[in-house]
Chains A and B, each alone.
Chain A
């Protein structure tokens, strides 16, 4: 039997029972569509995260106090941050932006909400790339005077003041009166949290007015020092320089009381996390593909039983073992291949339909990949082949007489 006749025979017998063929297809269609759309969503999320973080600048290092235990005060201070600007000991550091944040209650008129306030210095605007859309950013004078001024993220500004211009308005932070001096440009939400909900105030104000835990030495402690380095190529030596300065200042001989991580590492960690998540989702989708394969096997078993007489007739007419085997295997493979193709179209359509839609404050971005699509369709076809072999072998092994006598 030529491959073409095998194909035509398989197609015509699939076409003769359309309802059953459709039902058999369904499992594979859903499986393939699920694999493709989850992978597209996962890939899209990954791209969003990566590009967001990259937009913050990849030449950033984060210096954080080593958490030695709960309730231990932070070991990093504002002084430490300024010391990193020393042109002799740490020439590769271009700018530093220390930050200290805490959760507070915000009250503006009848609006009442909890939010994070981040204490910053003027450099924060450039190091973290937070341009203001109206008003001004926090200045050195504000930091020096422990001023009760705030720069609002676009979202929180709208929450608190609606359509009124927030600049110049008063609101209360933990009962203290603050004045809004500026509003940030919108950054959009990320899986890291909505950056547009941030409230920026002078770092000294957080320390002296809003934070409950203070160090006895009187130095202003910070949670993170964002250090911008001059060149990505000098990453390793920059880390060394910063570590040396801090060790000297902290008079350390043993373990460091701080950690330095790079933006790049953060991206990699996050990518790994999302990757794991995507693989997990795809595995679940893959299982549904497998279930689809078992569905095909089921249908093929029924089909073989139902067509026992046909098999007998074909054998009486001279069909060999392999002719019958190929016939049923090719039916199963065509079924799953067809299901795979329909599923791929469906999966891509779902991914494209989701692209740019927002759900629960998150905007979907999907990235359909040709590789994954091709892979899913191929896997579907192979699954059909695999699950088709057993029923086909049963059919091929039938004795012609028994098959002909079958009622």
Chain B
């Protein structure tokens, strides 16, 4: 923990709001979020449905910009950036893991993992993709299409895809939401391993308390604001 305190600041959100206008009415999905995250943290975000968890993940992941407030990612103010710069940041720094996997159905597992490398550094794309598949234990499924894989395997391909570009930040929005408990456990183990062994900052949105309890910090949200933010006392492997 002490080590973490000294790690540099990765994410800093100050009074961030996100307002969606639905015709006449405006919906404030984020209503003044203040949050700091250091490099190498393993965090879970909890909260009821509609509390703004996904919106927060989208803002952090540079898929969307805040309506107001300040968002600094690795010393760079994101709010004022243009779409193409945001795309570059997503490509270089951020890996997404989706609840519904979002693999392209007509591509093989390998081609899916290579996808982010089409839009950035494409050197040794195949080797890096194979290596990423190997790290999630799917080296032997490289030529399979998503339809030929189980849900858990598809999600591991999704993680490999997020991983292959060596991101500094991995965002997983309900990554186990569609999985049985066995597969969920596998996925969580992989995500924890990436955080522990490679120092990747991992943020997991989850509804399940036992998943949250395995992370180092639990952020609770309600109605677009952070209502609770607590560090989990190291009960298992929390001390490196």
Contacts and interface: CB of A to CB of B under 8 A. Distances in A.
Interface of A: 1-2, 5, 9, 12-13, 16, 309-310, 312-321, 323, 399-401, 404
29 contacts: A1-B118, A1-B119, A2-B122, A5-B118, A5-B122, A12-B107, A13-B106, A309-B102, A310-B104, A312-B102, A313-B102, A313-B104, A314-B119, A315-B90, A316-B61, A317-B96, A317-B119, A317-B161, A318-B88, A319-B87, A320-B87, A320-B88, A320-B119, A321-B83, A323-B118, A399-B64, A401-B64, A404-B63, A404-B98
A13 B92 CA distance: 25
B118 A320 contact: no
Interface in B25-75: 58, 61, 63-64
B224 interface: no
Contacts of A404: 63, 98, 102
A9 B118 contact: yes
Contacts of A314: 115, 119
Top 4 nearest A-B pairs (CB, nearest first) are A318-B91, A317-B116, A318-B119, A16-B106
Given A13-B106, A310-B104, A401-B64, A317 B115 contact: yes
A12 B98 CA distance: 24
Contacts of B83: 320-321
B181 interface: no
B120 interface: yes
Interface of B: 58, 61, 63-64, 83-84, 87-88, 90-92, 96, 98, 102-104, 106-107, 115-116, 118-120, 122, 161
B117 to A, nearest CB: 9
Nearest to B87: A320
A400 B63 contact: yes
A317 B91 contact: yes
Nearest to A396: B83
Given A2-B122, A9-B118, A321-B84, A316 B90 contact: yes
Given A317-B161, A401-B63, 5 more contacts: A1-B119, A313-B102, A313-B103, A313-B104, A317-B90
Contacts of A310: 104
Contacts of A12: 106-107
Contacts of A315: 63, 87, 90
Nearest to B83: A321
Contacts of B90: 315-318
Nearest to A403: B63
B211 to A, nearest CB: 23
Nearest to A317: B116
Nearest to A323: B119
A314 B117 CA distance: 11
A319 B119 contact: yes
Nearest to A316: B96
B155 to A, nearest CB: 14
Nearest to B91: A318
A320 B90 CA distance: 10
A309 B98 CA distance: 12
Nearest to A400: B63
Contacts of A401: 58, 63-64
A313 B63 CA distance: 11
B163 to A, nearest CB: 12
A146 B155 CA distance: 105
The residue in A2, A16, A314, A320 that gathers the most chain B C-beta atoms within 10 A of its C-beta is A320
Nearest to B58: A401
B58 A318 contact: no
Contacts of B91: 317-318
Nearest to A319: B119
Nearest to B107: A12
Nearest to A2: B122
